[in-house]
């Protein structure tokens, strides 16, 4: 009998035992799994935060990074903006990378921070999309 068949036989013989073990310890097993996942999520979050800080500091030329327009410095509010409004050709070429998020930030870092991007907060980014420029600019001029 080879090892594989032996293992299978052993499993078959103890199947009921494994099942009982799982039922008895289900709570513990699930809790352990959940804890494991949580710990890893923490690590993942820290890694993303580090990457974001690195990329955003580079593009906003300041550390901690801030919005080029209004100076907002909350990392969660900040986004990378395509200065010349997207550039569809570029977007198509790097479709996957430019869809945003971690993949995009990693791509920027890997490509030695290509020019043509700036750091904007969500507010300024939305405003710019809406009216081609952020109202902060006109507000500043009016002052
Ligand atoms: Zn802003
Ligand atoms: Zn603004």
Residue 136 Cα to ligand 1 midpoint, Å, equals: 8
For residue 59, the enclosing domain spans 3-142
- How far is CA 42 from its chain centroid? 13
Residue 40 Cα to ligand 1 midpoint, Å, equals: 32
Residue 22: the pLDDT is 92
Pick from 109, 134, 111, 137: nearest CA to 123: 134
| Local structure of 65: helix, strand or coil | coil
Which residue matches tokens 């409004």?
A: 85
Q: Which residue has the higher pLDDT, 27 or 135?
A: 27
Q: What backbone torsions phi and psi does residue 94 show, to the nearest 5 degrees?
A: -115, 40
Claim: this prediction has a pTM higher than 0.85: no
* Domain total of the chain: 1
Residue 86 Cα to ligand 2 midpoint, Å, equals: 18
Pick from 80, 75, 77: nearest CA to 48: 75
Residue 124 Cα to ligand 2 midpoint, Å, equals: 4
Residue 128: the pLDDT is 87
Taking only the tens place, the pLDDT of each residue in 71-84 is 999 999 999 988 87
**Residue 140 pLDDT level (bands cut at 50, 70, 90):** low
Reading phi first (left if > 0) and then psi (alpha if -120 to 50, else beta), residue 6 is in: alpha
Q: Following CA atoms 132, 134, 137, 140 in sequence, which dihedral angle do they give, to the nearest 10 degrees?
A: 150
Q: Which ligand is nearest to the CA of 77?
A: 1
Q: What backbone torsions phi and psi does residue 54 show, to the nearest 5 degrees?
A: -60, -50
């Amino acid at each position: 009998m080879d090892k594989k068949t032996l293992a299978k036989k052993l499993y078959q013989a103890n199947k009921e035992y494994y099942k009982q073990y799982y039922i008895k310890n289900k709570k513990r097993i699930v809790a352990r799994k959940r804890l494991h996942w949580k710990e890893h999520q923490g690590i993942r979050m820290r890694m993303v935060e580090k990457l974001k800080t690195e990329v955003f500091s580079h593009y906003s030329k300041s550390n901690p990074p801030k919005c080029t327009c209004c100076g907002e410095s909350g990392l969660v509010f900040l986004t990378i903006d395509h200065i010349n409004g997207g550039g569809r050709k570029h977007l198509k070429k790097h479709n996957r990378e430019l869809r945003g998020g971690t993949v995009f930030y990693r791509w920027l870092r890997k490509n030695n921070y290509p020019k043509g991007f700036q750091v904007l907060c969500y507010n300024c980014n939305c405003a710019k999309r809406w009216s081609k420029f952020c109202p902060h600019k006109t507000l500043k001029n009016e002052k």
